[in-house]
Structure 1
Amino acid sequence: MGRPLSRMDARVSRLSIVVPVLDEAPGIVATLQALQPLRASGAQIVVADGGSRDDSCALARPLCDVLVVSSRGRALQMNAGAAHARGEVLLFLHADSTLPDGAPLLIDNALDSGAQWGRFDVAIEGRSPLLRVVAFMMNLRSRLSGIATGDQAMFCTRALFDHLGGFAPIALMEDIDFSRRALSLSAPACLRARVRTSGRRWEKHGVLRTVWLMWRLRLRYFFGADPQTLARSYRPHHD
């Protein structure tokens, strides 16, 4: 007979963490190893691979509860992962990101206070001091607008996710689209604890250049540009 669940374990066991992956072999083990204490306490870890050409799947398999292979595209992968998630609460974590300590309790408290979805603040790790400025502006913009980005480890109740039909199957801006639709039902919980995420893609092509690219893409999306067209401008800078 197993030990009875503690109050913390009961909170953690409500949680399914979905990690979309594409060619993340260099870092996926560290990401998933950081989640093992939560997994041991009852959280479900779902890895959603988009057709990796490296060893991502082989490396991830022993460190997750479910490995799903889907079509490429973060929205499609997250939806595929959510379809195999058993938790009442879904958390979507990028493959190069690490949750803050006590994340399940923070999420649970936010949902118990009436929120149906939310996100964490983000800290972008890297050599450039500009990354701290970028993270500060991302967090401030999100807090003022109610729009979350995937880098901030978005979470929601299963009920809200199902009501919204998950992420729109678009090639880019799925996080902004989801935020806008979720806002019509509930203000987000903007948690100040920080998810740590890698600044590798920012630094690879230049921090300021990447900021300028993202602002241009968001502006074009705001004025109705097709996400598939935007993705063609985005991918050369982030593949």
Structure 2
Amino acid sequence: MPAPISIIIPTLDSAAVLGPCLASLSDGVFEGLIAELILADGGSTDDVEAVADAAGARLISAPKGRGSQLAAGCAAARGEWLLVLHSDTTLSREWTGAVRDHMNDKADRAGWFRLRFDSSVPQARIVAGWANLRARWFGLPYGDQGLLIPAHLYRTSGGYPDIPLMEDVALVRRLPLSPLDATATTSADRYRRQGWLRRGWRNLGTLALYFAGVSPHRLAERYARGR
């Protein structure tokens, strides 16, 4: 039986952080789960080509922006399942079993991982806890939590929109979802730089404005000004 999963990772000057992400996927290669690895690059000026070559990944170019990059990566994928991850995210050791269980038992649904941050401060646990509750109660996992989705469901749902922000929310609102019994640990660097409370409120405010009808392009401009 062919390996079922295409891994899609958007990259933009991400070579320095890709190593741990790719290493966490190695069990999926050994267990015959991963058919291909696609890096959807938005114009990096670092050594992402060398990283792609070393990892045996396909490197494709797309207009800068996570929505356009993910749309291009998913369009190029050949697997029966798509697993979308951010470049600064690593999966826990049990991810392969959780993914197998999901593919066997919930073949008509997308799945998301529990979120953790690579930080031991209390704020990290609070922010991650809220994200996991939001995903479970409201069906709104963010991209940091990863997304496992049947390729046919991705296509029929319309896929990732070509927007500069909130592409993850726009997609998951159209999907049936279930949690995966494994953890995605993502970098807390942005929270460390900007402050846990400040960034948390900005994220919540951005989500509220999006639901209020503010365009993703205006939100992206607002988000950039706040960096």
Residue 46 of structure 1 aligns to which amino acid in structure 2? I
> Matches of 1:153 and 1:167 in 2, distance apart?
14
**Structure 1 residues 28-48: Cα deviation after superposition (integer angstroms, max 9, x where no partner):** 223223323423444121111
Q: Secondary structure of 2:15's partner?
A: coil
Q: Secondary structure of 2:161's partner?
A: coil
Pick from 178, 181, 185: which aligns with 2:174?
A: 181
Q: Secondary structure of 1:90's partner?
A: strand
Residue 192 of structure 2 aligns to which amino acid in structure 1? E
Match of 1:126 in 2: 119
Residue 137 of structure 1 aligns to which amino acid in structure 2? W
> Matches of 2:226 and 2:7 in 1, distance apart?
27
Contact 2:24 2:93 in 1 (8 A): no
Contact 1:118 1:154 in 2 (8 A): yes
Residue 124 of structure 1 aligns to which amino acid in structure 2? F
> Matches of 2:150 and 2:163 in 1, distance apart?
22
Contact 2:7 2:37 in 1 (8 A): yes
Q: Secondary structure of 1:169's partner?
A: coil
Match of 1:210 in 2: 199
Match of 2:8 in 1: 18
Are residue 143 (structure 1) and residue 132 (structure 2) matched?
A: no
**Structure 1 residues 134-175: Cα deviation after superposition (integer angstroms, max 9, x where no partner):** 001100111001111101111100010111221011111111
Contact 1:28 1:60 in 2 (8 A): no
> Matches of 1:106 and 1:209 in 2, distance apart?
34
What are the within-5 Å matches in structure 2 for residues 1-239 of structure 1?
13-42=3-32, 43=34, 44-114=36-106, 115-126=108-119, 128-182=121-175, 186=176, 188-237=177-226
> Matches of 1:201 and 1:216 in 2, distance apart?
17
Sort the Cα spacing of 1:76 and 1:145 in 2 relative to 1 into closer, same or farther, 3 A.
same
Question: How much does 1:237 deviate?
Answer: 5.0
Over aligned residue pairs, what C-alpha RMSD do you find? 1.8
Residue 50 of structure 1 aligns to which amino acid in structure 2? G
Question: How much does 1:236 deviate?
Answer: 4.6
Q: Secondary structure of 2:200's partner?
A: helix
**Structure 1 residues 30-86: Cα deviation after superposition (integer angstroms, max 9, x where no partner):** 322332342344412111111112222322332133111111111111111112222
Instruction: Provide TM-score, normalisation by structure 2.
Output: 0.91
Instruction: Provide TM-score, normalisation by structure 1.
Output: 0.87
> Matches of 1:36 and 1:192 in 2, distance apart?
18
Contact 2:24 2:92 in 1 (8 A): no
Task: Structure 2: give runs of 5+ residues left out of the alignment.
Answer: none
> Matches of 2:225 and 2:15 in 1, distance apart?
20
Question: How much does 1:232 deviate?
Answer: 1.2
Moved more, 216-225 or 54-63: 54-63
Question: How much does 1:191 deviate?
Answer: 2.0
Question: How much does 1:101 deviate?
Answer: 1.8
Moved more, 120-129 or 160-169: 120-129
Question: How much does 1:192 deviate?
Answer: 3.7
How many residues end up aligned between the 2 structures?
224
The share of aligned pairs that are identical, in percent, is 34
